[in-house]
Amino acid sequence: MVATKAGSTMKAGSSKAAKSKAYNPVAPDRIAEILKHLDQLYPDVTCALTHTSAWELLVATILSAQSTDINVNRVTPELFRKYPTVEAFAALEPEQLQPDVRSTGFFRNKSKSVVGAARKIVGDFGGQVPLNMKDLLTLPGVARKTANVVLGTWFKIAEGVVVDTHVTRIARRLELTKQTDPQKIEQDLMRIIPRERWILFAHQLIWHGRKLCFARTPKCVDCLLEKICHAADKSWSTVEIHKNAKP
């Protein structure tokens, strides 16, 4: 096989194109190989958001929308020092919180969500973050991604798969899904990834997206998954490229 740059046509190996009829990107043996390589690359990864409680993780995850974990981690230590309990947040008006979270972006909506979630938790759940999907989804600012982060990272409950921009990009590149909607992507991943791997798998894809599988110019030459990845936008490849395998 001949290494190529993304966008070029591979002649070496094209004789095996007939094999593509039998190619199944979600075959159990391929899934097992993907998981094995992710374990080699990221054996013990977890959520990068700094937190010491389920409530702190919930807040940090809400603030992380359209922001970076690094930026959120700059904001939250002082935020949680200033407002140390969920009750302290519930006593605020959203406008009071805005200056504290402004640097995370979309600070008006995020302030409204955080204060609203705090009030709901205090009023309906005795001040405790609920540990089931149904109740979490009743909280302002909480959709399945945020709920899965809290359930998986804090409570170790595998209710679903976290689907963020990294998971979306890499799952599509690896041909684990053809969907673009996060909920449909999650359903596809839940069908092919063993349930006991849902939590770690999502963290591994997120770290992979940060370390190697960038949105632009991924570092394919350094990736252990390269030989089983046929993504159309690879920067370097030793395998046949599949034009539909792309973010």
Residue 5's pLDDT band (boundaries 50, 70, 90)?
A: low
- What pLDDT score was predicted for residue 164? 96
Residue 10's pLDDT band (boundaries 50, 70, 90)?
A: very low
Q: Give 199-239 pLDDT, tens digit per residue.
A: 999 999 999 999 999 999 999 999 999 999 999 999 999 99
Helix axes 198-211, 165-173, angle to 10 degrees: 90
CA proximity to 230, closest of 211, 244, 215: 244
Q: What domains are defined for the chain?
A: 14-45+162-228 (1.10.1670.10), 54-128 (1.10.340.30)
> Which residues are known to be catalytic?
145, 164
Cα separation, 78 vs 100, in Å, equals 9
Q: Give 145-185 pLDDT, tens digit per residue.
A: 999 999 999 999 999 999 999 999 999 999 999 999 999 99
CA proximity to 218, closest of 187, 194, 245, 192: 245
How far, in Å, are 89, 123, 146, 212, 244 from residue 73 at the CA level? Answer: 18, 28, 16, 22, 36
Helices of type H across the chain: 28-41, 54-63, 69-82, 86-90, 94-101, 107-124, 133-136, 144-149, 165-173, 182-192, 198-211
Q: Is the pLDDT of residue 3 over 60?
A: no
Do residues 190 and 198 make contact, with C-beta atoms less than 8 angstroms apart? Answer: yes
Write down how long the chain is.
247
Name residue, tokens 């094995």.
Answer: 36
DSSP string, 180-204: -SHHHHHHHHHHHS-GGGHHHHHHH
